Chains A and B, each alone.
Chain A
Amino acid sequence: MSAPPGTGTGRRRKGGRGGGERTMVPDATFTSYYGRPVVKASPWAADIPAYLFLGGLAGGSSLLAAGADRTDRPALRRTGRIGAMVAITGSFVALVHDLGRPERFANMLRVAKPTSPMSMGTWLLTAFGPAAGLAGAGELSGLLPARWRGTPAIRLLQALTRPAGMAAAVVAPAVASYTAVLLSDTATPTWHGGRGEMPFVFVGSAAAAAGGLGMLGAPPSQAGPARRMAVAGAVVDLAAAQRMEASMGLAAETLHQGRAGHLMRASKALTALGAAATALFGARSRAVSAVAGAALLAGSACTRFGIFEAGQASARDPKYTVVPQRRRLEHAGSGPG
């Protein structure tokens, strides 16, 4: 039987913490109502972290494609444009699939609200999606048999390909960074606690993923910018994540425990190894380049799933809501008791 909630130290009911996990901040005693959560965890499933990953990949790939287009790197451009099209389509499907009423998706377009990151994100995707899709489709049309390429529709598509790719690249940085605000603008302790650094974690992760895809799809002779983007992105991702954990206080615990802990450790290992292999051997070996690129993509996905899971865990345990708020009141000296 659980202890009387008014006096007990609000232990989680399903046993303590798993053995061997390191504790960032000393255990604090706190009170809760039968150990039940104070805030609610989001009702989101794997769709949302997948959406975060694919949105970042799409944004980064559009930027890479635009640069490749301007510097005459056709294989890198093709990889970027097709990658962006596939990724943004996947992220859109994930977003709609996660709705409680998917058939009402279009209700998102009733309003434009700066106070709602999801509303802003919807409008960003409304601008980015068609542009990236057009650029990707134009790229694919180049693979059609010669007798179809002359038709007016295909000729129009090909004329629009380059402007569409540039338009997508203009919106792309916002597409890659806004998702951090989407998570941070909640009462979920780990997500809100990471608000100062998470946009940098996310753009770093997006650059690493897009660079990784570029290295998979283009030969090393064309993939120089992809390698530089991947290494720089990985460094920003890892450094910003480190800072985020250090500044977050108690809620950082959830990034080291359970499923989120496994994912974050995997993300750091994959991102660091991928970046190191890219810097050392990327220019020389296509095989190493491809493996490193795949590692960077996997690392980026693990970052998004890890941060997502850590937030969910922080909402389910009342400790992460009650203890920091109680401390805040005590420091302000305005506590009611």
Chain B
Amino acid sequence: MTDLFADPVDPARAAGWTDPPRRKGFFTDTSICIGCKACEVACKEWNGVPEDGLDFLGSSYDNTGALGASTWRHVTFIEQPTSAQQQGSELAGEPSDRPEFRWLMSSDVCKHCTSAACLDVCPTGSLFRSEFGTVVVQEDICNGCGYCVPACPFGVIDRRIGEKGVVKNAGIAQKCTLCYDRLGEGMTPACAQACPTQSIQFGDVEELRERAAGRVATLLEAGVGSARLYGHDPEDGIGGAGAMFLLLDEPEVYGLPPDPVVTTRDLPAMWRTAGLAAAALLAGTVAAFARNRS
């Protein structure tokens, strides 16, 4: 039995799988994302994710908004003015007749955390660790308590809104499964399969970490000083993500938390405090009756 509150290194093995396959994940290289949204479409089509609003949001080409119960891939669009100086360092050697403007695009997805808060707090066991080290909702178990929703440090998972019997899985927590069904058949998840630029790369997490480190080194060498990795570090607050990113600005620019920490890391201390408070209540009650009748 492993320590329930310890951060696992190999999440599938820590969850009790014997001899699991290698941990699977994504490396999303946003420097080559062209914002085509093929990933969003492929995900919806393959997973039968219902439509969740056709709105004009007034945020560049992003009319999807955010990840949620019915959005498992979300392409962000950021229109960003850049200083000429910054351009110079970004594009070393090129003539500076470019507009003082750049466009950032990134396909966001569930991080499939090594220490996953959604999975930790799920009271039914509906959320579970698959043999591929991913985090998946069992839709026939979830009773829609909604606890995973505020627990996720990335705001990924949500409870699906809709009329029961009309909207598939209404009332149940839903998110990316890393195409659990396709993985079982040795196939690539739909979003990575559909990505025309290989911005979304699928593979073994260990190998992807190396690939990501290589890619960021190449970009830094080429003068793209803003390139950095996100979610690649097993020492971070979530024990490293199964889905990591190469970003060209601070994480919060893309709507990502700059330093996410799994909430259950503080849980042993919280239980101790609650135990103390409970003992105080009991002692207080005894004291209230200790005096004689008044």
A residues apposed to B, CB below 8 Å:
1-2, 4-7, 10, 30-34, 36-44, 59-60, 63-64, 66-68, 70-71, 73, 98-102, 104-105, 107-108, 110-111, 113-119, 122, 172-174, 176-178, 180-181, 184-188, 191-192, 195-197, 199-200, 202-203, 206-207, 221, 224-226, 228-229, 232-233, 236, 283, 311, 315, 318, 321-322, 325-326, 328-329, 335-337
**Interface contact B81-A192, CB-CB below 8 Å:** no
Distance of A21 from chain B, by nearest CB (Å): 24
A70 and B289 in contact, given A113-B123, A174-B278 (Cβ under 8 angstroms): yes
**Interface contact A31-B150, CB-CB below 8 Å:** no
Contact of A2 among B58, B146, B229, B269 (CB under 8 A): B58
**Interface contact A173-B270, CB-CB below 8 Å:** no
Contact of A115 among B4, B59, B259 (CB under 8 A): B4
**Interface contact A99-B145, CB-CB below 8 Å:** yes
Distance of A202 from chain B, by nearest CB (Å): 7
In the assembled complex, B141 has its CB within 8 A of some CB on chain A:
yes
- Chain B residues within 8 Å of A10, by CB: 252
Contact of A336 among B173, B250, B277 (CB under 8 A): B250
Contact of B58 among A1, A173, A318 (CB under 8 A): A1
Q: DSSP class of B's interface residues: helix, strand, loop or mixed?
A: mixed
- Among A186, A202, A315: residue with most chain B CB under 10 A: A186
Distance of A165 from chain B, by nearest CB (Å): 13
- Tell me the bound Cα distance from A122 to B230 in angstroms: 37
- Tell me the bound Cα distance from A104 to B286 in angstroms: 39
**Interface contact A38-B252, CB-CB below 8 Å:** yes
Contact of B228 among A66, A191, A206, A336 (CB under 8 A): A336
**Interface contact A33-B254, CB-CB below 8 Å:** yes
Chain A's closest residue to B262 (CB) is A187
- Tell me the bound Cα distance from A244 to B258 in angstroms: 25
Chain B's closest residue to A34 (CB) is B59
In the assembled complex, B80 has its CB within 8 A of some CB on chain A:
yes
Known: A4-B78, A38-B255, A43-B146. 13 other contacts (CB 8 A): A30-B252, A39-B155, A42-B150, A64-B285, A98-B145, A99-B171, A104-B141, A176-B281, A186-B150, A321-B257, A325-B260, A326-B258, A336-B251
Contact flags (1/0) for B50-93 with A, using CB distance below 8 Å? Answer: 00000001110010011010000000101111000000000000
The segment out of B7-15, B33-41, B114-122, B176-184 that lies at the interface is: B114-122
Distance of A151 from chain B, by nearest CB (Å): 34
**Interface contact A181-B271, CB-CB below 8 Å:** yes
- Among A100, A172, A335: residue with most chain B CB under 10 A: A100
- Chain B residues within 8 Å of A337, by CB: 226, 228, 249-250
Contact of B154 among A2, A38, A110, A177 (CB under 8 A): A38
**Interface contact B145-A100, CB-CB below 8 Å:** yes
**Interface contact B293-A32, CB-CB below 8 Å:** no
Give me 14 A-to-B residue pairs in the complex whose CB atoms sit less than 8 angstroms apart, sorted by A's number.
A4-B80, A6-B79, A38-B252, A39-B152, A43-B146, A104-B142, A111-B123, A114-B271, A115-B4, A118-B145, A180-B270, A195-B273, A206-B281, A228-B291
